[in-house]
Amino acid sequence: MPDTRRLRLPRLSIRSLPGLLAALLLPFGLLTPAAAAASPPDATAAADPVRIMPLGDSITGSPGCWRALLWNRLQDAGHTGIDFVGTLPPQGCGIAHDGDNEGHGGELVTNVASQGLLPARLAATRPDIVVMHFGTNDVWSNIAPDRILAAYDTLLAQMRESNPDIRVLVAQLIPMNPATCAACAQRVVDLNARIPAWAAGAHTSRSPVVVVDQWTGFDTAIDTYDGVHPDASGDEKIAARWFPALAAQLGSTPGDPGDPGDPTLTCTASFRSVSVWQGGYQAEVTVRNTSAAPVRGWTVTLRPADGARVTQVWNGALKSAADGTATVADAGWNGALAPGASTAFGLIATTTAGPAAPAATADCAATPAS
């Protein structure tokens, strides 16, 4: 099959024309001494683009039209210094975009890890950021979450060997409910429940790992055409979830949220008791972005009832005040939330109250996406 990828040619600015003419005239001895002198570097030359690899299976690559929507959303927000990379060419969609990708239909992440397929792809594309939605075929094949996460470990190690500063956005998979796999829906839930803890353990300040919740709010009945692969509405949702997390990695640019006149950012925090025992309880707090713009972080102020004290938090960073008020900030990897998106953190509290159901008031403050 012929290679249909676009050939990227360097742009020649008008300033570069004298040097180009000099090179053409050199064989004919027509250079003056002044023209022969080396020209200083062009200080206006653009920096190298940030290279972003969409990595996964057919949901990413065949045709993976969410990539086209994401590319154009980033461009519209002012993130023009980017280059989507991959050894696969564009695969349709009918929307102008940079379609290079690493979405191989039918691949299992466990096979890519065990067969050592990723290093050559990394060497050919040299990504700075990897956007990974990978594991759907493994779930379909009834491969245990432990093996899938072990494959994630292998791939992450290979990414960091290729680029020690690589940044990885890893998805909690979109739901799946194919007619031929009744158990697949729960298997996705089981894997997704493990991904945040995996990411927290893999995250480093030099090479961050950020979880992006692609599962919440995605409905296989209306957002897929076969219970697995996204349709047009599914593509819109996937692109919308990737955008704030990826934009946060790219930094501030003109047109990003945070400019004067942007909408007020709001979020909510809802408290739910999970289990109760004598002297304490476990609870969960769900944080939801209720504004029309993405946020890059959140802080919840929690005031437990009946004198309870929060002693432990996971998927968040805890600060406790003398009066029992607990302040919980996002853990970094779960801070970026698209409009309508949610995440959750868990907690343990001690209490001297009786068997009454635990309760707390919770207020949320959002941080603009940068």
User: Residue 291: which pLDDT band, with cuts at 50, 70 and 90?
Assistant: confident
Query: Quick check: 150 pLDDT over 80?
Result: yes
Per-residue pLDDT at 157: 98
What phi, psi does 246 have (nearest 5°)? -70, -40
pLDDT of residue 290: 82
Mean pLDDT over the full length of the chain:
83
Helix 65-76 × helix 232-250 angle, to 10°: 40
Higher pLDDT, 156 or 90: 156
pLDDT, tens only, 171-205: 999 999 999 999 999 999 999 999 999 998 999 98
Q: Is the whole-model pTM more than 0.85?
A: no
Q: Give CA–CA dist 168/28, Å, rounded.
A: 52
Q: What is the pLDDT of residues 229-241, one digit of tens each?
A: 999 999 999 999 9
Task: Please tell me whether residue 309 adopts helix, strand or coil conformation.
Answer: strand
pLDDT at res. 370: 53
- The pLDDT score that the predictor gives to residue 357 is 83
Q: Which are the contacts of 128, defined by CB distance < 8 A and separation ≥ 6?
A: 50, 51, 52, 163, 165, 166, 167
Q: Is the pLDDT of residue 288 over 50?
A: yes
pLDDT beyond 50 at 6: no
In this predicted model, what pLDDT tens digit does every residue of 136-149 receive, in sequence order? 999 999 999 999 99
Rounded to whole angstroms, the Cα distance separating 301 from 310 reads 12
Give the chain's end-to-end CA distance (angstroms, integer): 42
Strand ranges in 41-101 using DSSP code E only, listed in sequence order: 50-56, 82-84
Task: Of 105-114, 222-231, 257-266, 270-279, give the lowest mean pLDDT range.
Answer: 257-266
Q: Report yes or no: 267 and 364 within 8 Å, Cβ to Cβ.
A: yes
With 0-12 / 13-18 / 19 or more C-beta atoms within 10 angstroms meaning exposed / middle / buried, residue 280 is middle
What length is written for the chain? 370
pLDDT for position 125: 97
Top-confidence range, 44-48, 109-113, 257-261, 263-267? 109-113
